[in-house]
Amino acid sequence: MRRKITVVGAGNVGAATAQRLAERDYADVCLVDVAPGKARGRALDLDHAAPVVGYEPRVTGVESYAEIAGSDLVVVTAGSAQEPGMSGDDRLAVNADVVRQVSREVSERCPDAIVVVVTNPLPVMCHVALEATGFPRQRVIGMAGILDSARLRTLLAWELGVSAADVTGLVVGGHGEAMVAVLSSATVAGAPVRERIGAQRLDEIVARARDAGAEVLDLLEAGSASYAPSAAVAEMVDAIVLDRRRVLPCAVLCQGEYGFDNLYIGAPAKLGRNGVEEIVEVALDESEREELRRSAEAVKVQVAALDSP
């Protein structure tokens, strides 16, 4: 029997994710959205492309959660993107309600699924999903680090005039403005980038990576980034579905790792068929450790805001 992957939210990120997963052809894809017709329209469009691209036309679009039963993996993109003029707190409350509702449906209808949370603000939404599903930490994972790291690597590659494939650059901590670029271990073909790019220019590059989501949003005026986020989700799903044991930066619940207790934070994690199989602790220099501590404080404040009535 084919695997089943559900993508909740058929907006920019959800639709792009469904496309990437359908094209991999290793699972049936179920797309869910509360907006009438939206998921069905996207799914129909994706099925029509199947004979041309070369995958099975087995994408379904639904408005009802009954259809997600039996999913092996659920990607949660439902919620609102940051609209111009919307405060962070407003978005936090709106998206927490959505993720809570989705998570309850997931825990009832596919109690063995692995959940990949995409809805912002990450990693706070991971806390919501963990609590509302009641799943173990191995099965509730957030996507942000691969995306932030890819943005950093792209900018470093442009600066150095080399292929992005030859640039490494890990990002830990929070997402976007709260991300921590681990420049102490960033390399180009094995050589430290700090030996090739001056400190001031590196600061500018990290700042641009940090603001990359807003830069895209400003250019588009409506909508938000979707190609890079969906590519990052697909890399996580590949690692889980194909049991690849990739070590990828994800939002994971630390229970002692990096000195944090019961806190979701971005860190490299080994992903395989069981979800998070290990949280890998990498060496950080003193300023990176301090940045990570500050990033974790910001997550704690948001989690506390969520818990207060």
List all residues 6 or more positions away from 199 whose beta carbon is below 8 Å from its beta carbon: none
**Window contacting ligand NAD (CB under 6 A); options: 19-27, 42-50, 221-229, 271-279:** 221-229
User: Which residue in 23, 25, 26, 34 binds ligand NAD (CB under 6 A)?
Assistant: 34
Alpha carbon of 87 to those of 81, 82, 83, 93, 147: distances in Å? 11, 8, 8, 10, 23
Residue 42 and residue 18 in contact, taking contact as beta carbons nearer than 8 Å = yes
95 belongs to the binding site for ligand NAD (CB under 6 A): yes
Of the residues 147, 183, 193, 267, which one makes contact with ligand NAD according to CB under 6 A: 147
Closest CA to 305 of 127, 115, 180: 127
Instruction: Count Cβ atoms within 10 A of the Cβ of residue 219 and give its class: 0-12 exposed, 13-18 middle, 19 or more buried.
Output: exposed
Q: Does residue number 220 form part of the binding site for ligand NAD (CB under 6 A)? A: no
User: For ligand NAD, which residue of 9, 173, 174, 268 counts as binding (CB under 6 A)?
Assistant: 9
C-alpha–C-alpha distance, residues 278 and 257, integer Å: 10
Of 38, 42, 139, 175, which is the active-site residue?
175
User: Which one, of 95, 29, 24, 13, lies nearest residue 53 by Cα?
Assistant: 24
Query: Does residue 154 interact with ligand NAD by CB under 6 A?
Result: no
Strand pairing of 179-181 and 171-173? antiparallel
Nearer to ligand NAD (CB atom), residue 143 or residue 279: 143
Residue 302 lies near ligand NAD (rule: CB under 6 A): no
Return the structure tokens found at 259: 């000195």
> Min. distance of Cβ 64 from ligand NAD in angstroms?
10
Tell me which of 107, 184, 185, 224 binds ligand NAD, using CB under 6 A: 224
Cα–Cα dist 169/284, whole Å: 13
How many residues at the interface with ligand NAD, by CB under 6 A?
A: 33
In the bound complex, what is the minimum distance in angstroms from residue 42's beta carbon to ligand NAD?
A: 9
**Known active-site residue 175:** yes
Local structure of 149: helix, strand or coil: helix
Asked if 119 touches ligand NAD (CB under 6 A), the answer is yes
- Encoding tokens for residue 217? 């949003």
Residues with catalytic annotation? 175
Using CB under 6 A, list all residues that contact ligand NAD.
Answer: 8-14, 32-35, 38, 77-82, 95, 98, 101-102, 118-120, 122, 143-144, 147, 175, 224-225, 229
